[in-house]
Homo-oligomer: A and B are copies of this chain.
Amino acid sequence: MEREDIVTAAVLVIGDEILSGRTQDLNTNYIAKYLGELGIDLREVRVVPDIEEEIVAALNALRFRYGYVFTTGGIGPTHDDITADAVAKAFGVPIGEDERAIAMLLERIALQDLNPARRRMARIPQGADLIENAISKAPGFMIGNVIVMAGVPIIMQAMLDAAAGRIVKGVKVQVATVDAHNIPEGRYAADLERIAKEHERVTVGSYPSFSSAGVRNQIVLRSRDSAELEAAAQKVRALITHLSANGTPI
């Protein structure tokens, strides 16, 4: 497969509440796994505050570089929800109340309750396609290669499902995980590097974890070429078996 066949993506998290530490961001991990299933490579994540020029700058940096940009957060009815306006500015297009979005809001909100704040949720940049929201109706949208979603996880997840049908998929990366148990990374690092070099189409990562139970390391191999992946994984498994048979870890 040629490199240009790979579909890439970035995530742009818009949220003071993530930067302040108030909220643990769970959306990025969900999107990362979701894109993995679609064969799309997540290449970069940025978290920026609820400040228009920051959103515009980050969005423009990301959208020209990656196949898709998925944004989360900032599309509600309150004054700190400025994502739609920032996206319109980044694209240099007008923004206004979208009749289709108003119709969606009216599925949940009575006409007499559709106050100016709620109408804000129908502000959509010109030329965008709406992304439906099965949970609370206020839509996300897709403009160019940018998919704009809510920050509330269950709503974001519904929007991702709705958006998935409109994006180009790639070839899924295959993964092989080899448990290195309590063998220290320093004992297998040189051989692992050699195996990684012998299989350039496979990325090889070593991930330690430490707990009160001690060290537990995992070696993760990833490739779109399953034969190559299996060849490399067999060498890693043999390496770990050999080291395990050779006494106490050092």
A residues engaging B (CB < 8 A)?
13, 16-26, 28-36, 41-50, 54, 76-80, 109-110, 113, 115-118, 120-121, 135-136, 152, 154-155, 173, 175, 185-187, 189-190, 192-193, 196, 203-211, 220, 222, 250
Once A32-B18, A44-B48 are accepted as A-B contacts, the answer to whether A152 and B186 lie under 8 Å apart by CB is no
Partner of A196, one of B77, B79, B211: B79
Q: How far is the CB of A149 from chain B (nearest CB, A)?
A: 14
CB-based contact B118/A76 at 8 Å: no
Q: Is the contact region of chain A dominated by helix, strand, or loop, or is it mixed?
A: mixed
CB-based contact B23/A190 at 8 Å: no
This protein's copies in its complex: 2
CB-based contact A43/B49 at 8 Å: yes
Query: Which B residues touch A206, using CB under 8 A?
Result: 76, 78, 80
Give 18 A-B pairs besides A19-B44, A79-B204, A117-B187 with Cβ atoms closer than 8 angstroms: A17-B207, A18-B28, A19-B41, A19-B43, A20-B36, A21-B33, A22-B220, A23-B29, A28-B47, A44-B48, A76-B206, A78-B206, A80-B206, A109-B250, A113-B186, A118-B189, A135-B210, A154-B210
CB-based contact B135/A205 at 8 Å: no
Q: A-B pairs with the 7 shortest C-beta distances?
A: A21-B32, A117-B189, A21-B33, A79-B193, A45-B47, A118-B186, A78-B206
CB-based contact A190/B116 at 8 Å: yes
Query: Which B residues touch A46, using CB under 8 A?
Result: 44-47
